[in-house]
Chain A
């Protein structure tokens, strides 16, 4: 599974757009990019998954450039409740893969009033 690198922490203010970038220089052709969110004392929660270009859902957008060596999770107009740890993961979506996720340290996002 490709290794990922993301900032340890980020600060933002309510109402701002937050972009968290993840580097995955060794991403393989079959790898997908997935983001999870974890609040204190809770288990991680799936946010979004993508392979290339842009993916958007009701929670976030995921931007992936053509070379796929990085990706950016975009959270529009954050609120205090978006304060959490955000994990970027990459892995193979092909058959035979166990779906096992390897978590890094994540990015701790602190949203201030």
Chain B
């Protein structure tokens, strides 16, 4: 009964490179959320996806960031041309339904360090 799996756990990238973060939701969950947590700060919502659809991307920067949740395979958060300010912990969460009576199950995050 595996939980939300995120990989890699730690990722180091140089400025200008691309970062790809993967999230496999819990079995039976078709709703995926991505959050970012900067050091000493709370979690900030980025994007909410269902299979093959982006439902809410109001928290995602307009440039360099993209997310997908294909029909098969994990959800991917992609950051192009990373900058030092992108260094943060990125958490993925999943739920069986996108409503408040369906608590989110979070993974343990990917810690991105941009050098």
Contacts and interface: CB of A to CB of B under 8 A. Distances in A.
Interface residues of A, number: 25
A41 B100 contact: no
Nearest to B109: A43
B106 A92 contact: no
Given A43-B109, A105-B42, A98 B56 contact: yes
A97 B108 contact: no
A100 B32 CA distance: 10
Interface in B39-97: 41-45, 48, 55-56, 91, 93, 95, 97
B99 A99 contact: yes
Interface in A1-49: 32, 34, 41-46, 49
Given A43-B93, A44-B43, A100-B56, A34 B109 contact: no
A45 B42 contact: no
Contacts of A44: 43, 91, 93, 104, 106
B97 to A, nearest CB: 7
Q: Interface majority SS on A: helix, strand, loop or mixed?
A: loop
Interface in A98-113: 98-106
B100 A97 contact: yes
Contact of A99 (B43, B44, B95, B109): B95
A95 interface: yes
A77 interface: no
B33 to A, nearest CB: 7
A32 B109 contact: no
A95 B102 CA distance: 12
Contact of A49 (B33, B98, B103, B109): B103
Interface in A40-99: 41-46, 49, 87, 91-95, 97-99
Interface of A: 32, 34, 41-46, 49, 87, 91-95, 97-106
Interface of B: 4, 31, 33, 35, 41-45, 48, 55-56, 91, 93, 95, 97-109
Given A93-B101, A98-B48, 7 more contacts: A32-B100, A43-B93, A45-B106, A99-B104, A100-B56, A102-B45, A105-B42
